[in-house]
Structure 1
Amino acid sequence: MIKNITVLVAGATGDLGQRIVSELLLGDSLVRVLTRPGSGKAHAVYGGNDRVEIHEVAYTDPAGLVSALSGVETVISAVSGARPVIIDAQRALLAAAVEAGVARFIPSDYSADYRRITPGSNRNFELRRELAAELDAAPIRVTSVLNGAFADMLTGQAPMILFERRRILFWSSPDQILDFTTKDDVARTVALVALDEDAPRVVEIAGDRVTARSIARTMSELTGTPFSLQWAGTTGLLAAASKIGRRLSRDQDETFPAWQGMQYFVSMFSGEAELRHVNNDRYGPHEWNSVRNVLEAHLGFDVIAPTMVSRPPA
């Protein structure tokens, strides 16, 4: 691991981006953040930190990007969006990184394994696969971090756990392995990859590997109330529904519309996006946040306490 380097983070004011910057600042790195001209958010978040440099540059300004990247060893992209961001903005960032002589580039992947999915089955994954071809051809070292889905989404954003109805939805099989990692654990890994001169093309991590069946069991244990599995159809039916939703969608550039969420579940429950080479130990021992940890924190002590009291002594 190298130290005392300059790392630039694009998308540093986003949820994941802020977590990545926080992890980098735990070490000795100097951090630069890239922000759009006129946006005050970066100054509000980082303005008082003397180890963070704020660079206001538009992605349509090649010379400005090269200047912002001058002297940077690693670029971390944590931008979020559809084609205008994942392809266009990151393509501009990559070109500037190459021209500025940056050694390493970490693209904004942070997802399940998009490399084996069926064409047409997942827009966001296909955008990442399209950019990956350009990254592989560029004269720069690239490392993608794949982490499955964000475990934080299980608390409500991803409609898999129906908390009030005490149901766990699944498609096709309740025993399909599902990879989940919290944003905090992803941010930690990304910061370590940024300092790793020998990082491979892809680093796969999974804070937890669960199934719909095991999630139902966990929810039952945490709440003291039985949670049952509910078959929601096959992945084929879900894929068809997502296609209809996409055709009817008014904004094709929305980052995560409902039909894209359907596509994500298709990729996961079909097994196509399952991680196959997880290496959680690459950067040493670490206590990963489990799905159980996330759900326990979400439910809160008031819900869990009655369960704990009612349990017989071991």
Structure 2
Amino acid sequence: MENRITSGPVVVAGATGDLGGRIARSLLSKGASVRVLVRRDSDAAKVEALQKAGATICEVDYHNPAALAKVCEGASCVVSALSGLHYVMVGIQSLLLNAALAAGVPRFIPSDFSIDFTKLPYGNNRNLDLRKEFGERLDKAPIAATSILNGMFTDLLTGQAPVVLFPIKRVMYYGNPDQLMDFTTIQNTADYTAAAALDPTTPRYLRIAGDVLSARGLREAATEATGEEFSLFRVGGISLLNTIITVTKALTPSSKEVFPAWQGMQYMRDMFTGLPKLDPLDNDRYPDITWKRVAEVLKAR
């Protein structure tokens, strides 16, 4: 499908974050007009960089409905790349949705970027439950919504996600070593989101994966990337991981962390089960995107 610029600017919330900033820049590179929503306490250097890149900076108070709706007027799409807990993912996104509706914006892309949480029950994964809750509100709103599901950010495999263990040349996993999982880089996700924001014909869900690999595939990718032989390290079954998650949560003081250790474990647990596997994939919708393989990311770490 050829990308085309829709009439009206694209509003991006969360652009001072990594993914949101990349989405805004990708939109600008495609010739789009971009309005970036920032708060008074947003990182000044990041805001200045976005302005220099060509974005229009709109300082907003999400709790001022009239002012928020005003900056959304005339927009063709509102894209949320906000990150946080319930206050942000349900509360602030709902205020943003209400502003889009009040301004007559035809399309809304929520901050869903994840595995397919629609296939998971409530209570399974805290952060994904927040996406499900907001999604229910979004589905009742008179606006065309599109969620982009990308699996896991491939970039996390270089260190933040303890799966590819470089020092001991092991790939850690639970359950079945042949269970396929979806991985997409932050940049590929941003470029695809930008293309979708400019495409007035997107469906409710778009599913993408820069690479689809099992634990065995990750072992091969790590071996290819480093030139050193990696092997598999099966810690145990999914039930063991569930127990570890329960214990870790119990030992973790209540905090406002978006990604405590047990949350990352929940995410990996869900991937290892195969329940939220993305299918079908919509990679071919925007053919100008070059998908980056896991081995490429591991090699460049």
TM-score (norm 1): 0.91
Q: Tell me the equivalent position of 2:50.
A: 46
Report the AA paired with residue 160 of structure 1: V
Q: Tell me the equivalent position of 1:90.
A: 93
Q: Tell me the equivalent position of 2:185.
A: 182
Matches within 5 A, 1:105-124: 105-124=108-127
- Mapped partners of 1:282, 1:221: distance in 2: 29
| 1:103, distance to aligned residue in structure 2 (A) | 0.7
Q: Tell me the equivalent position of 1:25.
A: 28
- Mapped partners of 1:149, 1:43: distance in 2: 27
Equivalent of 1:286, from 283, 286, 289? 289
Report the secondary structure of 2:74's partner residue: coil
Equivalent of 1:218, from 217, 221, 224? 221
- Mapped partners of 1:107, 1:222: distance in 2: 34
Deviations, residues 105-163 of structure 1 (Å, cap 9, x unaligned):
00001101001113322111111011110000001000000010000000001000110
Report the secondary structure of 2:29's partner residue: coil
Deviations, residues 65-114 of structure 1 (Å, cap 9, x unaligned):
11111111100000111111111110110111111111100000110100
Residue 167 (structure 2) pairs with residue 159 (structure 1) = no
Q: Tell me the equivalent position of 1:145.
A: 148
Pair 157,81 (structure 1): closer, same or farther in 2 beyond 3 Å: same
| 1:258, distance to aligned residue in structure 2 (A) | 0.3
Residue 207 (structure 2) pairs with residue 201 (structure 1) = no
Report the secondary structure of 1:209's partner residue: strand
Q: Tell me the equivalent position of 1:306.
A: none
Contact 1:4 1:30 in 2 (8 A): no
Q: Tell me the equivalent position of 2:175.
A: 172
- Mapped partners of 1:223, 1:30: distance in 2: 41
Report the secondary structure of 2:284's partner residue: coil
Report the AA paired with residue 132 of structure 2: R
- Mapped partners of 1:196, 1:97: distance in 2: 17
| 1:285, distance to aligned residue in structure 2 (A) | 4.8
- Structure 1 stretches of 5 or more lacking a match? 299-314
Q: Percent sequence identity over matched residues?
A: 44
| 1:231, distance to aligned residue in structure 2 (A) | 0.7
Deviates more, 1:244-253 or 1:170-179: 244-253
| 1:233, distance to aligned residue in structure 2 (A) | 1.6
- Structure 2 stretches of 5 or more lacking a match? none
Residue 13 (structure 2) pairs with residue 10 (structure 1) = yes
**CA RMSD across the alignment:** 1.4
Report the AA paired with residue 259 of structure 2: F
Contact 1:5 1:28 in 2 (8 A): no
The structure having more radius of gyration, on CA atoms, is 1
Report the secondary structure of 1:164's partner residue: helix
